[in-house]
Amino acid sequence: EDKVVQSPLSLVVHEGDTVTLNCSYEVTNFRSLLWYKQEKKAPTFLFMLTSSGIEKKSGRLSSILDKKELFSILNITATQTGDSAIYLCALQGGSEKLVFGKGTKLTVNP
Amino acid sequence: NAGVTQTPKFQVLKTGQSMTLQCAQDMNHEYMSWYRQDPGMGLRLIHYSVGAGITDQGEVPNGYNVSRSTTEDFPLRLLSAAPSQTSVYFCASGRQGSGANVLTFGAGSRLTVL
């Protein structure tokens, strides 16, 4: 069965710090790995990583996928208080469904 | 363009009562799904559907029923609510196919079972 493990489960940093969030996975037939950000309500899409797209960057956020070692990381540089959220990693294997990890709760203090 | 609409936003039930959480999307997405979110547990898949007339179980299907009579609607039914079903429920939809399934989520429904 497809599985996603995120670490750490929670993280507290100061504004300006750089953080790295981890996502390891087990899958039978890999299709994609996705990162979502969840603030107070519904998760919003950040990145999608596939076999043909293993690095993504948007502003201060970037993500890479290591298909050999079965993990992905999400980096946030120069953190701001607005980055405080739960970051969710999701895996799509051979079927259409997405399996999520437990998430990393990031708190950025001023 | 409304996206994914969930109703109600809040609901309080007594143990044993039944109810239906409604989910509708106007993006012509084939794929629809229901997740529940509990503190520290991430999102757990309850049921999903890849098209009208087709549904399948996720990780935590017990106590929930679904149906998909149209492309737009995917209601989640609790036949006999239990306190363990107190949670925040999210409906999500996406396009399926050879590419990845980037889900669009509804705003969530907070359910409390007393």
Nearest residue on chain A to B33, judged by CA atoms? A97
Contact call for residues B89 and B34 (beta carbons, < 8 A): yes
Chain A and chain B share a number of CB contacts under 8 A equal to 61
Length of chain A: 110
Q: Nearest CB to B58: which of A6, A34, A97?
A: A97
Nearest residue on chain B to A1, judged by CA atoms? B59
The sign of the CA dihedral A74, A76, A81, A83 is negative
DSSP-derived secondary structure letter, A50: B
Half-sphere exposure of A40 (CA within 13 A, CB side): 1
For residue range B45-94, list pLDDT tens digits in order: 999 999 999 999 999 999 999 999 999 999 999 999 999 999 999 999 98
Question: Which residues from A are below 8 Å from B41, CB to CB?
Answer: 102
Contact call for residues A49 and A95 (beta carbons, < 8 A): no
- Strands of A8-103, DSSP E: 10-14, 19-26, 32-38, 44-49, 55-58, 61-66, 71-76, 85-92, 98-100
A54 touches chain B (CB under 8 A): no
Q: How confident is the model at residue B99 (pLDDT cuts 50, 70, 90)?
A: low
- pLDDT value of position A52: 78
The bridge status of strand B109-113 relative to strand B10-13 is parallel
Phi then psi dihedrals of residue A63, to 5 deg? -145, 145
- pLDDT value of position B97: 60
Question: Which residues from A are below 8 Å from B102, CB to CB?
Answer: 34, 45, 48
**Among the listed residues B98, B82, B85, B97, the one whose alpha carbon sits nearest the alpha carbon of residue B34:** B85
B54 touches chain A (CB under 8 A): no
Report helix, strand or coil for B76: strand
For residue range A23-82, list pLDDT tens digits in order: 999 988 888 999 999 998 899 999 999 887 788 999 999 999 998 889 999 999 999 999
